[in-house]
Structure 1
């Protein structure tokens, strides 16, 4: 039996226990991660007594809940001891029947009887660094071998959020609105204060030319952001920073590249020879969303959206 549980009714001990013992475990489904990214605007669906759980983040428009994965929250979906396509299908049908969905991303382990759209992601599973490095492409290995002149005038430093902020503001690409940048900075700052995000910078001639933001929990390292000064891309500082993060943690933690949809980004990530792990997605256009709202109104299910 699947039922909806609002945020203030969630048994977070049972929820966390289900996540931690799940086959599909993802850092992004944790209470800490969702509280920050969604500003506590999320609830869950549960199967029986937390045998399986499905977090549902949302935004509110005119008092109506619209399901939407928040910024930097790539994958959610269903979490259970053993992934079960039939149970997952029941969650999927409950979700589409009772909610308005703009964007909802499942996780790379979830299987369904229905066919969903897919998006790309790449992971490196825990292993010895020597084995991981040996799998890098020849091109990536060349990029990591900095010439002596570059080595003599470059270094890697860990930055505070305030030190990282101005470089992020100047070099964050792909945002359409100023408020989007503000949203990313809010999330980065919150995770930094909680001790989950580290900013690593590559300095060249005493100037930052590359920076990465990496989220960390007990079992995962996540590349939340890569920021580059376009004038110095030939130096490959981003590759050096990512390689160092992998080298420092890959023996005990999974490394999640958090994406790969854009061709140039996919090519860059593939140079590290990660595993390809696509995940399912539900997505509706604004027009379809309006149509679905009308259908829910007709069927008398508006109460479920408040």
Structure 2
């Protein structure tokens, strides 16, 4: 019996059924929840299999009146979630490419078969399970990291839990703006609004920072949380903070705070070798997610980017 497949506009989706699929699926991450998608993506749709047995979220935009699927900022993994066979995945992929002949798609770490079929580009992510006591996790740190933490501890740095969300976002924009040329102020505003609401109503967003003796921020992180992971969405270290290993100390303190909880610390990954090396020092495991870009537009539209 063939699966029933339906493409539904975001504002027509049954939120309760959608979020239930995300919550009970091991690859259903926070980026796929209904409220997060609504906050981050002005327009999105979702393919639904049968009665929300499986879903895939598809943000889209228009350029020159041509609709296309795109990868929004502050979202790392989307893709197929729930109970779905490979043939149904392929059928949906054929449909969505036919609907929008140009696009970029995000797939999650469990979508290995379909991404192999389409030759999607693998991307690295790094995870650390926090279910052990802190001393056990600490044993997995590299010797170099342990030295950095001891150095930081001697400089009277303070672990601080009340940095305003806006301050953390502003610092991120200040020190990373050259990497964020594609992210608009409107998109930053949408993300800030989501974080404010998530912090107020569900404690799913919070900040952690390292301050010096003058109470200046040396390093700060904005984190999201669900029942599976704590997500490192934004992380910024000042020049003074780098000199004191403040970021090493920050993540060590985060790990210590949440140790023995049944969640993963999701460092969010990076293709930059130095950043990867930093994450690996904590004893992380590597997880692979995927990005797929295609252009089936006719000439000369296929020259557009």
TM-score (norm 1): 0.84
**Paired position in structure 1 for 2:230:** 221
Count how many residue pairs are aligned between Structure 1 and Structure 2: 288
1:93 correspondence with 2:94: yes
Deviation of the 1:261 alpha carbon: 0.9
CA gap 1:19/1:264 in 2 versus in 1, 3 angstroms: same
1:214-247 deviation per Cα after TM superposition (whole angstroms, max 9, x unaligned): 1122332000011111244131111111122222
Shift of 1:293: 9.4
What displacement does 1:67 show? 0.8
Report 1:171-250 matches (<5 A): 171-177=175-181, 180=184, 183-184=187-188, 186-195=190-199, 196-206=204-214, 207-250=216-259
1:262 to partner: Cα distance: 0.9
Say whether the 8 Å CA contact 2:9–2:45 is kept in structure 1.
yes
Deviations 1:2-53 (A, max 9, x none): 22111222111111111122232211100121111113x1110012221211
CA pair 293-198 structure 1, distance change in 2 beyond 3 A = farther
The question of whether the paired residues in 2 share the 8 Å contact of 1:22 and 1:79 is answered with yes
> By how many angstroms is 1:182 displaced?
5.7
User: How big is each residue's C-alpha offset from its partner over 1:51-77, in whole Å with a ceiling of 9 and x where there is no partner?
Assistant: 211111112224432111211100000
- Residue 109 of structure 2 aligns to a residue whose secondary structure is coil
TM-score (norm 2): 0.85
* 1:228 to 1:289, Cα distance in 2 relative to 1, 3 A: farther
The one of 28, 32, 36 aligned to 1:29: 32
Q: Deviations over 1:266-301 (max 9, x none)?
A: 1111111211111121124xxx36548969xxxxxx
User: How far 1:213 sits from its partner (Å)?
Assistant: 1.0
CA distance, structure 2, for counterparts of residue 104 and residue 268 of structure 1: 28
Structure 2: distance between partners of 1:99 and 1:178: 21
8 Å Cα contact 1:86/1:112 also seen in 2: no
Matched residue, 1:73? 75
CA contact under 8 A between 1:88 and 1:112: conserved in structure 2? no
Q: Following the alignment from structure 1 to structure 2, what is the Cα–Cα distance between the partners of residues 3 and 178?
A: 31
* In structure 1, distance between residues paired with 2:22 and 2:292: 22
Contact kept? 2:127, 2:266, Cα under 8 Å: yes
Alpha-carbon distance between aligned partners in 2 of 1:29 and 1:181, rounded to the nearest angstrom: 22
Write the distance in 2 (CA, Å) between the matches of 1:292 and 1:75: 31
